[in-house]
């Protein structure tokens, strides 16, 4: 029987997790919410050492120390452009850990049954164990593939081969059969086979996903991991795991749906669209069509005499690490009397909130960051839109070209502004792999070069006006 004080402590940790999630909903409270959640997690991990008679304590402490060191070093050294793959990697490790714990618990169940001669567990415990094993394995394998795609360890394009739908359906059906066997004929070897099937499903699920769809799959797999942790909490009789896993699962599910809506597509289309040619494709060839380009001095004149400017940041801004230079440019324009805002698309970058975090790192006032729905009506009254490292989120093909993979995705209406300036390294397309007709609009001017270098020259030119 779990002591009362432990139950109360776990309840307090669960409440802290809920408050932490609430804090993460806003930029002003995000840091304190994150610290509160981390502190509650530490307390929840320490509590078992205080009331349980644990075996192999030195090995447990060594494992905790190694994991802590790897996590701390990895989180501190990761670049902002690599944040999505770090999230995928850490999430996959969580799913894999949940699956391993469930396998160990299944072995314990079988041992207890063999010793007592009767089965002290009801069918739902075995069902929750099977669910944790298979879905945890799916999350681990799928997250490993998304990490490889984002880290350029494999092609970011959808990987489709003949017979993939049949292989996926067969693996899924086999997993259902083995899950039933886990409930009816609990045995460790059945659980191991179930885990292998889960790994296969995870790989086959993510292979057909490519391009700008990959971050959405990361969010979906994050929800999977949360659900496995919740199910594992039920198996272990651990309230804090049950609550924390449910929170992660629910939040990941809602985030996945919101991101899919922001792209104007369904989750099913994102997962399986490549099988019929409907997925974002990732790579593309650079266009050789003529465009209007200019130097920093010409763009500085446009900005210097504009009454209203909107900045559209994208992944290229993160790659160039140019957010600090951009903030300084905006401050100089503001001092000259120019009204400047940042237009934030929900899927700009490689994960939700990527641009918000990037600009917050540069101490950009949150009041200047405006979401797509709030700022789209202002583009018609805007003198200059400065697009820094973004592409697909301002691509008119989303509204005008039914054959485009991003068709139906809500975009920022940059094409409605009086003048558009693109800061681009080259004429290569964005993550969706399609040409952006806005680049060839008569109102559009391109400033080629690394974003940090271009913004530095542009800043100097504006100051010289």
Identify the three-state secondary structure at position 370.
strand
Give the closest residue to 338 by CA, choosing from 298, 296, 388, 385: 385
Sheet hosting strand 419-424, strand order edge to edge: 369-371, 339-344, 308-313, 384-388, 419-424, 444-448
Q: Tell me if 410 sits within 8 A of 259, measured CB to CB.
A: no
Give the closest residue to 218 by CA, choosing from 319, 147, 134, 316: 147
Residues 6+ apart with CB under 8 A from 346: 258, 259, 262, 352, 371, 372
Active site residue 450: no
How far apart are the C-alpha atoms of 355 and 140, rounded to whole Å?
Answer: 27
How far apart are the C-alpha atoms of 46 and 4, rounded to whole Å?
Answer: 16
Residue with tokens 């929750």, as numbered in its chain: 128
Give the closest residue to 208 by CA, choosing from 238, 263, 259, 165: 165
Residues 6+ apart with CB under 8 A from 94: 139, 225, 229
Q: Tell me if 415 sits within 8 A of 396, measured CB to CB.
A: yes
> Looking at 213, 392, 413, 415, which residue is catalytic?
392
Q: 349-370 burial by CB neighbour count: b if 16+ within 10 A, else e?
A: bbbbbbbbbbbbebebeeebbe
Residues 214, 215, 220, 222: is their CA dihedral positive or negative? positive
Give the closest residue to 410 by CA, choosing from 268, 227, 265: 265
Phi-psi category of residue 56: left, alpha or beta, with phi > 0 → left and psi -120 to 50 → alpha: left
Instruction: Please tell me the number of Cα atoms within 13 Å of 70 on its side-chain side.
Output: 10
Q: Which helix (H) or strand (E) holds 216?
A: helix 214-236
Would you give the DSSP letter of residue 207?
T
Q: What pairing do the DSSP bridges indicate for beta strands 419-424 and 384-388? A: parallel
How far apart are the C-alpha atoms of 394 and 198, rounded to whole Å?
Answer: 38
Active-site amino acid positions: 392
């Amino acid at each position: 029987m779990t002591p009362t004080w432990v139950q109360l402590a776990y309840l307090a940790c669960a409440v802290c997790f809920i408050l932490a999630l609430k804090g993460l909903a806003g930029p002003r409270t995000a840091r304190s919410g994150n610290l509160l959640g981390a502190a509650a997690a530490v307390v929840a991990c320490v509590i078992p050492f205080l009331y349980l008679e644990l075996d192999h304590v030195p090995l447990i402490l060594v494992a905790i120390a190694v994991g802590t060191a790897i996590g701390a070093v990895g989180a501190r050294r990761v670049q902002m452009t690599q944040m999505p793959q770090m999230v995928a990697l850490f999430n996959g490790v969580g799913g894999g850990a949940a699956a391993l714990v469930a396998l160990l618990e299944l072995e314990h169940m079988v041992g207890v049954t063999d010793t007592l001669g009767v089965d002290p567990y009801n069918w739902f415990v075995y069902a929750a164990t099977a669910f944790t094993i298979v879905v945890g394995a799916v999350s681990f394998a799928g997250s490993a593939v998304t990490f490889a795609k984002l880290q350029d360890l494999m092609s970011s394009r959808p990987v489709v081969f003949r017979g993939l739908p049949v292989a996926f359906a067969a693996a899924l059906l086999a997993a259902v059969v083995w899950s039933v066997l886990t409930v009816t004929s609990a045995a460790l070897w059945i659980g191991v086979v179930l885990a292998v099937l889960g790994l296969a499903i995870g790989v086959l699920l993510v292979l057909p996903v490519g391009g700008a769809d990959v971050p959405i799959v990361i969010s979906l797999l994050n929800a999977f991991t949360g659900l496995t942790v919740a199910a594992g909490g039920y198996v272990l009789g651990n309230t804090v795991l049950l609550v924390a896993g449910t929170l992660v699962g629910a939040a990941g599910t809602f985030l996945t749906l919101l991101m899919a809506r922001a792209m104007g597509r369904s989750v099913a289309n994102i997962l399986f669209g490549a099988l019929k040619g409907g997925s974002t494709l990732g790579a593309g060839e650079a266009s050789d069509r003529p465009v209007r380009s200019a130097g920093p001095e010409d763009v500085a004149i446009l900005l210097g005499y504009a009454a209203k400017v909107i900045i559209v940041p994208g992944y290229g801004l993160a790659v160039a690490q140019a957010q600090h230079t951009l903030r300084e440019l905006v401050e100089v324009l503001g001092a000259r009397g120019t009204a400047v805002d940042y237009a934030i698309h929900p899927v700009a970058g490689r994960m939700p909130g990527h641009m918000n975090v990037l600009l917050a790192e540069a101490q950009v006032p949150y009041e200047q960051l405006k979401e797509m729905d709030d700022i789209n009506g202002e583009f018609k009254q805007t003198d200059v839109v400065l697009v820094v490292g973004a592409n697909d989120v301002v691509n008119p093909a989303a509204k005008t070209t039914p054959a485009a993979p991003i068709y139906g995705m809500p975009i920022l209406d940059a094409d409605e502004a009086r003048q558009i300036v693109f800061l681009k390294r080259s004429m290569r397309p964005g993550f969706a792999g399609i040409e952006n007709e806005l680049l060839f609009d008569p109102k559009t001017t391109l400033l080629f070069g690394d974003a940090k270098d271009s913004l530095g020259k542009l800043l100097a030119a504006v100051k010289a006006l």
